[in-house]
Structure 1
């Protein structure tokens, strides 16, 4: 009986620990490298503006430079609907917790620029009107003003 209870407690703690894992890792990395965190809520297989955001901004070289040049740490909290695109139960739970904390209105796409402590510096509701280069420049400008 003690073994079963111990096993159950270990599972509960393991799931609870993993729940905020990506954000906690991002905060640590952002603190160490003086980066910002870009958190994007998307519906990758059903939300047309989300798909456009990824194609026209996030998958571009201008945006990828933000990551390689240590300007941002990028987190995508995805909420796919198709069975073939479903995430692991742990990742679903983590995304749900991120949404509870940062996206209580359930907006898609919804993009947040956070400091290394998780404080919101800027948010974009829906598809940003700027192109990838302008979007990236805005993030760089916000980072410069944080110094």
Structure 2
């Protein structure tokens, strides 16, 4: 019985964080379709994940936190539009991301664009967000309820 309890505990500890992680999509069109069918906002995260210091801070201090991940799972479709310098990326993803950066006039990283479930831009949040997940969640909740 002790072995079963220990095994259950290990499974929870090892797998628990993986279950809570936010599901970031990279396919913009698929994300818009999912948002439309699920009636959720789309959060586009324009990032330089392997070189942008503020992007890395936002990942560590906001996006990786359980509070944000829980909120996102219930209310958002997340899209990572990455512009890495060192990580490999398919040509299709790179072209899509460049097109979207141009379409949304992205001038700096990180930049978050919030879309309505119908795909219309409702907010542009440029730069690093201080204070952990709470300020971002509050802003997103205000948009969601408007």
In structure 1, the gaps of 5 or more residues are: 1-20
What do the CA deviations read for 1:4-42 (whole angstroms, capped 9, x no partner)? xxxxxxxxxxxxxxxxx8222112111111100000110
Aligned residues: 121
* SS of structure 1 residue aligned to 2:130: coil
TM-score normalised to structure 1 length: 0.75
Tell me the secondary structure at the aligned position of residue 99 of structure 1: helix
Structure 1 residue runs of 4 or more that deviate by more than 2 Å after TM superposition: none
Counterpart residue number, 1:23: 28
Contact 2:40 2:76 in 1 (8 A): yes
Match of 2:102 in 1: 100
State the TM-score, normalizing by the size of structure 2: 0.76
Do residues 43 (structure 1) and 44 (structure 2) align?
Answer: no
Question: Unmatched 5+ residue regions in structure 2?
Answer: 1-25
1:80/1:56 CA distance change after superposition, 3 Å: same
CA-atom RMSD, angstroms?
A: 1.6
